[in-house]
A and B are shown apart, each in its own frame.
Chain A
């Protein structure tokens, strides 16, 4: 991982640290993107049987075929990512950005935060691709191992900034929103158990404190980028895992790309080591 390296005759695969980090972050991106693939394919099948005519969604943004493309195209980028050459990485990350933007505006996937986090993780991937050396023999810029993790944290902070600002309404601080949305309406994880075993007043109280915890955690994570990566990243990972396990495992689709972004940046050689 730490040798300045290039391509060799038997292998066309670039072995630079930047290429390795790119690959790992892409794996996280893919986990998030495909976490609900079965559901998305079902949506496409239903839309084929029952087309939906909506005034705000036309052409490719309403087509079930687009949805099928969105499931296939990111996978087709994997060989490019595996090879790791700068131009291929720029192409792959640009395609991932494009897929995320189309998904964000598609009738059948509309308003899923999965594609917001995917978009911004892909923007970071594009930045990394652009910042990687044109000639692998040159090796990575020595400062890249410091800049890349910090900019990954900037992306994480931006995501939580959005969540925090959107919750600056009393329904979140009082817990009313999460009480109804999760604690009363969801039949997954611990919610049925909580409904069966807690008195109604206690359940409401738990929802309030859960909601306040989420708001405060998002408020904390939105400034994560101001702190050194290796000090704050474990806390960020713990918080994101807590949100997924504490609300719904479906949120893995939202946080997959963020987990990938943070975990991949642990792969840079530490200061002092050759890069």
Chain B
């Protein structure tokens, strides 16, 4: 079973240990507050979607432990989508690439999307992310334009366009 009181006393007797455990406790509380606080939960989702946040908030959320959090989806579409479409059956939306995602939301937008853009034969389109947690959902949308310059260089410009 758990270690004894003497062991705990030994840990708490050292200043460095107390500071270390204090920092860990702070982040453990942040994670534990996620099911209880809609604001905390949504900030985790906003960060996952790459929304612009206060740098301190972004650093705190990004440093918080997480592995395969939430049920996350993406949609690629050459035309804008609405929340109603994103909340419904993706098979009913024309010309949409839909999938489950976890890592690299920004990479999905830039590199993987280039393939999809070429498949659709378009130079710009829309990328949406949705995170679900116990029935509630947060959606974030981006417009992506890809420019190709005469020297062959390319540039991807991403702008926020929420559904």
Contacts and interface: CB of A to CB of B under 8 A. Distances in A.
Contacts of A163: 65-69
A101 B63 contact: yes
A168 interface: yes
In the complex, which range does the number of interface residues on chain B fall in?
A: 35 or more
A150 B103 CA distance: 30
Contacts of A30: none
Nearest to A177: B71
Contacts of A254: 67
Interface residues of A, number: 60
Interface of chain B: mostly helix, strand, loop or mixed: mixed
B154 interface: yes
B34 A110 contact: no
Interface string A97-127: 0000100110110111100110110011001
B106 A111 contact: yes
Q: Which of B17, B50, B59, B65 counts the most chain A CB atoms within 10 A?
A: B65
B159 interface: yes
B119 interface: no
Given A147-B14, A172-B71, A159 B65 contact: yes
Interface stretch (A54-62, A188-196, A262-270): A54-62
A274 B129 CA distance: 56
B35 A168 contact: yes
A88 interface: no
B20 A123 contact: yes
A162 B132 contact: no
A23 B23 CA distance: 23
Contact of A52 (B3, B17, B153, B156): B156
Contacts of A107: 106
Contact of B31 (A46, A165, A185): A165
B155 A120 contact: no
A5 B102 CA distance: 47
A124 B23 CA distance: 11
B32 interface: yes
A157 to B, nearest CB: 8
30 contacts: A49-B153, A50-B110, A52-B106, A53-B155, A53-B156, A53-B158, A54-B50, A54-B106, A55-B52, A56-B51, A56-B52, A56-B53, A105-B62, A110-B104, A111-B47, A111-B50, A120-B65, A158-B24, A161-B28, A161-B31, A163-B67, A165-B34, A166-B68, A167-B69, A169-B133, A171-B71, A172-B71, A181-B102, A185-B99, A227-B2
Interface of B: 1-3, 7, 10-11, 14, 16-17, 19-21, 23-24, 27-28, 31-32, 34-35, 44, 47-48, 50-53, 55, 58-59, 62-71, 99-107, 110-111, 132-134, 153-160
